[in-house]
């Protein structure tokens, strides 16, 4: 078998393996763009770079008739991957999901480019670093004191509505701050509902607030929907 062909196959397999390893971590956390998506991104990036770097063998030319600039292919790859990354980002209420997966797809494409031009060691190091960011850094991030947000609605009978200042005081006592409060009256005119975004720094406060609201006779119903990044 031709040595150049073997070398190309080695580039493709290395890029595919790097993408598959990164994609495994994404699949483990239940992301839509996981094992197969990342493997395909790595493989495709490698193939495109092989096309660019081996242009002399499939498009022969004499003199300076054709100038080869493989970096233009790399730029095109990274631009195209932006569309794929945008496809995994979506907004659900107050929550924006998929940003990390989009970044991992973009990183996988870059690693595929490294493998495609034969820089195996930098590609392998980049793969390890990417996995470290997705797994080890995830554990570090979970220990950061960060704000947690939730969508909150609380309903009262029209004749026994808790004043808004009292609602805010109750939330404050349980470690929450409220914002964007809106007011709603049911179609039959019997129920008044407050809707708002609430913020806290402790996840356990969500449970404590739910228990407190459930114990209040005046509360006809409520919802607390956490929204994480």
Dihedrals phi, psi of 165, to nearest 5 degrees: -60, -35
pLDDT in tens, 29-47: 766 667 777 887 888 788 7
Distance in angstroms (rounded) separating the CA atoms of residues 34 and 25:
7
Q: What is the pLDDT of residue 229?
A: 42
Interior angle at CA 150, CA 219 and CA 213, nearest 5 = 20
pTM: 0.55
- Edge-first strand listing for the sheet containing 177-185: 177-185, 191-200, 148-157, 219-227
Q: What is the pLDDT along the chain (229 residues), one digit of tens a residue?
A: 555 778 878 888 888 888 888 888 877 776 666 777 788 788 878 877 887 777 666 566 655 555 666 667 777 777 777 777 777 777 665 566 777 788 888 888 888 888 887 888 888 888 888 888 788 777 776 676 667 888 999 999 988 999 999 999 999 999 999 999 999 999 888 999 999 999 898 878 999 999 999 999 999 999 998 875 4
């Amino acid at each position: 078998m031709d040595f150049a062909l073997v070398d190309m196959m080695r580039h493709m397999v290395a890029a595919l393996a790097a993408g598959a390893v990164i994609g495994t971590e994404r699949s483990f956390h239940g992301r839509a763009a996981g094992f197969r998506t990342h493997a395909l991104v790595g493989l495709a990036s490698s193939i495109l770079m092989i096309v660019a770097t081996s242009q002399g063998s499939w498009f022969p030319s004499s003199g300076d008739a054709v100038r080869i600039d493989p970096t233009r292919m790399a730029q095109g790859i990274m631009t195209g991957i932006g569309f794929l990354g945008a496809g995994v980002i979506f907004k659900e209420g107050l929550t924006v999901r998929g940003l990390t997966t989009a970044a991992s797809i973009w990183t996988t494409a870059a690693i595929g480019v490294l493998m495609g031009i034969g820089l195996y060691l930098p590609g392998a190091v980049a793969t390890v670093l990417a996995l470290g960011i997705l797994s080890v850094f995830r554990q570090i991030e979970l220990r950061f004191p960060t704000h947690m947000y939730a969508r909150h609605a609380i309903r009262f009978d029209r004749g026994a509505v808790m004043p808004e200042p009292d609602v805010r005081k109750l939330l404050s006592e349980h470690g929450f701050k409220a914002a964007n409060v809106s007011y709603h009256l049911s179609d039959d005119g019997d129920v008044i509902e407050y809707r708002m975004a609430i913020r806290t720094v402790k996840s356990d406060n969500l449970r404590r607030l739910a228990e407190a609201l459930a114990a209040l006779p005046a509360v006809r119903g409520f919802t607390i929907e956490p929204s994480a990044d």
